Amino acid sequence: MADVAQPVGILKQIGLIAGLRWRMLHNNLRRKQSRLDLLGLIIVGLLAGAFVTVFCIALFASARNFVSSGRPTWLSLFFWAIFLWWQLFPIIVAGFGVSFEFRGLLRFPLSFGAFYILGLAYGLADFTGLAAVCWTISIILGAAAADLALLPALLLVAVLFILFNVALERLLGSWMERLLARRRTRELFFAGFILLMVSLQLLGPLLNRYGNSAEPWLVRALPYFAYFPASLAGRSAGAASAGNYGEFAIAAAGIGCYAVFFSGLLWLRFAAQYRGEELSETPATEKAIRNKAREESGVDALALLSPQVAAVVRKEIRYLLRNGFAALLLFLPPILVFALITQATLFRFSGAKNGVSPELFFPGLVAYIILILMAPAYNSFAYENTGVQTYFTAPLQFRNVFLGKNFVQVALVATELTLCIAAFCYRVGWPSAPIFTATLAAIIFTLVGQLSIANWSSLSFPRRLAFGQVHGQRQSGMAVLVAFGAQILLFGISSVVLGLGRWTGDRWLPAKAFALLAAAAVAGYVASLDALTSYAEKKKEKLIEALCR
């Protein structure tokens, strides 16, 4: 008679999974590719660590100052900043985030308790969570440095605040994945985003017109913020500092209630996943059928491209639109740009003396859009999975694959840039002709320059990413490093060229220099295509292995 497996305790299961992850990391290091990946991650980690450390020091010093100067409730500001960071940053940088997919563990006889705890623990194991925890601890230590008696109370607040944030972040990510997995809700979601984008344009005029009269309303609304966890954390610090332990207990209990409430909701979400919830597309709408009819009419919108490049372009566009989360990220940069433009117009550009010059603001906005939108190009095969084999079994030069992918990338960046430039010109006005021309040439230089490097990076450091998921994504460390390096290099060159223009007083110098650089970048790109075709042949085994595993 065969034995029956004995139930394993939660701690034992968690221990086993920690051991599993360690073995996976250890065994992965046998591959050169993985060692490079780890090296990249370490370098990126050091940079990120420096960023976190600087803020830790600043928060420590500020928290100590607030408490020692009798303003402990001002700590709320920091808790709000950490809250916003924890909830918004993962969405913006999910592609770069170091987090682990844990649902795959369900194939083991994992108890739901262990699954839930692991889910929460994994939420703390990404960059955003780690940074937020470090900053929260810095605040607590800073406050304790000013008044050591506060330490036990603030530690309790910190634990509750961290629990609340990690539960909410996991919950939002999970809901968003679910929402974006279905075509209908995805369309509604994107429609909402576009409306928001347009609405932001109205925010400026509205504030201009009604700003003064709205102020009292805003002041009256402020006290209601006091009931949110970040404010409650600050209040509890203030109450503990004043020795008012009754108020401290109420505030801490308030944060605890939030933590319990969102943990409960997360429990329900994880329970659905534990039961085997499968996220997938619902059947296409009528629109898809209409599209099909249009395609069959023989009108080919991409007739100017070669059939193979056109096929790659179509596939890329479909993948982009169906990968809800990646598509969502595309909407974020213009929204932020529109918000920045709105803010900028509120301060009414009146020259460099009173604020940021529009002559600098315009290229800055363009640089920001390119910086964000080009990031995925450095691992452009991330979502291909086994499909990547088609590129090598089909009778085509690999340059056609890159041409198709790059065409979509350029079209996307061009569309968003056009929108943002139009918004800028409408709200702020046209920049001067030399700056406008220089910026356009700089766009070509940085865009095309990055494409050559990004194509090489995609072949050299491929990493498979899960389609449509917010969590469980980790980019290749080296790809992230190459992306950072390339962007720093190209934007550094651009800054030097712009600086030279101002220094020499020759306003057309940047335009001329960028035109030359753009021509060189285009020539380099064209020359790189054949080299990349040979390189793809050389790297195909590693590429297929990385994506088909």
> Which residues are near other proteins by CB under 8 A?
2-3, 280-281, 283-284, 288-289, 292, 295-296, 298, 300, 307-308, 310-311, 314-315, 318-319, 322-323, 383-390, 392-397, 467, 537, 540-541, 544, 548
**Which amino acid would we find at residue 288?**
A
Contacts of 233 (CB under 8 A, 6+ apart): 75, 76, 79, 157, 161, 251, 255
- State the minimum distance, in angstroms, from the CB of residue 151 to other proteins: 52
Shortest Cβ 291–other proteins spacing (Å): 10
Quote the least distance from Cβ 406 to other proteins, whole Å: 17
Q: What are phi and psi of 506, to 5 degrees?
A: -90, 105
Our CB check for other proteins shows the closer of 181 and 417 to be 181
State both tokens at 140.
Answer: 């607590």
**Measured from the CB atom, is 74 or 319 closer to other proteins?**
319
Shortest separation between residue 373's beta carbon and other proteins, angstroms: 21
Minimum Å gap between C-beta 97 and other proteins is 22
CB 201 within 8 A of CB 334: no
Distance in angstroms (rounded) separating the CA atoms of residues 258 and 408: 44
Task: Indicate the residue among 164 and 383 with the shorter CB distance to other proteins.
Answer: 383
Alpha carbons 309 and 77: distance in angstroms, whole number: 52
Q: Which two tokens stand for residue 518?
A: 């753009």
What contacts 273, CB < 8 A, 6 or more positions away? Answer: 103, 106, 174
Q: Which is nearer to other proteins, 47 or 289 (CB)?
A: 289
Q: Which is nearer to other proteins, 215 or 300 (CB)?
A: 300
Residue 287 vs 502, nearer CB to other proteins:
287
Between 507 and 542, whose beta carbon lies closer to other proteins? 542
- Listing DSSP states for 261-283 in one string gives HHHHHHHHHHHHHHTT----PPP
Q: What is the CA radius of gyration of the chain?
A: 26
CB of 107 to other proteins, least distance (A): 17
CB of 241 or CB of 308, closer to other proteins: 308
Q: Which residues, in sequence order, are CB contacts of 261 under 8 Å at separation 6+?
A: none
Copy the structure tokens of residue 346.
């509120």
Q: Between residues 276 and 298, which has the closer beta carbon with respect to other proteins?
A: 298
C-beta of 298 vs 505, nearer to other proteins:
298
CA atoms within 13 A on the CB side of 489: 11
Q: What is the closest distance, in whole angstroms, from the C-beta atom of residue 281 to other proteins in the complex?
A: 5
Q: How far apart are CA 464 and CA 97, in angstroms?
A: 14
Question: With respect to other proteins, which residue has the nearer C-beta, 212 or 280?
Answer: 280
Minimum CB separation of residue 398 from other proteins in Å reads: 11
Nearer to other proteins, 264 or 387 (CB): 387
Cα(483)–Cα(40) distance, rounded to whole angstroms? Answer: 11
- 126/98 Cα distance (integer angstroms): 5
Give CA–CA dist 315/372, Å, rounded: 22
Smallest distance from other proteins to CB 16, Å: 21
Please report how close the Cβ of residue 310 comes to other proteins at its closest, in angstroms: 7
CB of 305 to other proteins, least distance (A): 10
The distance of closest approach from Cβ of residue 548 to other proteins in the complex, given in angstroms and rounded to an integer, is 5
- Measure the CA angle with vertex 419, ends 468 and 328; round to 5°: 10
Residue 430: DSSP 8-state: P
Do 297 and 162 form a contact (C-beta atoms < 8 A)?
Answer: no
CB atoms within 10 A of CB 278: 6
For residues 124 and 131, give the distance between their C-alpha atoms in angstroms, rounded to a whole number: 9
Q: Which is nearer to other proteins, 231 or 400 (CB)?
A: 400
What is the distance of C-alpha 540 from the center of its chain? 29
- Give the C-alpha separation, 163 to 170, whole Å: 11
CA atoms within 13 A on the CB side of 184: 5
Contact between 246 and 82 under an 8 Å Cβ cutoff? The reply is no
CB of 289 to other proteins, least distance (A): 8
How far apart are alpha carbons 336 and 368 in whole angstroms?
10
